[in-house]
Amino acid sequence: MIENDPCLDDGTDPGLTVLPRGVAERRGLLVYKLANELFIRMTPHFEALGIDGRDYALLAVLSNDAPGSQAELARLCSLLPAQLVPVLDALEKGGLVERRRDDRDRRRMIVRITDGGRERLAAADEAARIIEDELLGPVDDEVQARLGDGFRAALRQTTPAG
């Protein structure tokens, strides 16, 4: 463990309180540890909402990007079409999304978020904001904004244009 580090065990939080030097000295592992901590903390909130992280991402994409087909939705969510179908089946059964055939091309399915899906997304966003505030509270707003910009830039660079 790193001596005199504010992330060390102070008896308050069993999650990020232990930061071994092997992790602290590797940026990729720091990002991985933080992402894992977000996942651990968000999971019970998402379970209470009847969704998981994949559902959350899919609802967010549907809300903001309005993909023109089920295939485009799969691409935007980095899923194979076969992986997307069971997720959509469950979300549709829960009334969070709806699928319909494209009037111009009957082979294509269009997926849209429902009002219920938007409400669930808003509740998940609120839970995520609270957890992000807890985890990132010690990091000032300007640094948080720069981190977000940096993460987006890195992901755009590794994502093929489509």
Q: Which residue, among 120, 135, 133, has the nearest Cα to 45 in the 3D structure?
A: 120
CATH at residue 81:
1.10.10.10
One domain for residues 68 and 117: yes
Q: Is residue 113 part of a domain?
A: yes
Cβ neighbour number for residue 107 with a 10 Å cutoff = 8
Per-residue pLDDT, 137: 87
One domain for residues 32 and 57: no
One domain for residues 35 and 89: no
Per-residue pLDDT, 156: 86
Q: Is residue 151 part of a domain?
A: no
Q: Which residue, among 98, 116, 133, 136, has the nearest Cα to 49 in the 3D structure?
A: 116
Per-residue pLDDT, 102: 80
Per-residue pLDDT, 5: 47
One domain for residues 102 and 57: yes
End-to-end CA distance of the chain: 44
What stretches of 91-156 adopt beta strand conformation (E)? Answer: 97-101, 109-113
What is the extent of the structural domain holding 2? 1-49
CB 61 within 8 A of CB 76: yes
Instruction: For the chain, 162 residues long, give each residue's pLDDT as a single digit of tens.
Output: 344 444 444 444 555 568 899 999 999 999 999 999 999 999 999 999 999 999 999 999 999 998 988 989 999 999 998 999 999 999 999 999 999 988 888 888 889 999 999 999 999 999 999 999 999 989 999 999 999 999 899 888 765 554
Which token pair is 150? 């940096």
CA-to-CA dists, residue 99 to 29, 32, 56, 117, angstroms: 39, 34, 17, 13
Residue 17 backbone phi and psi in degrees, to 5: -70, -20
One domain for residues 26 and 66: no
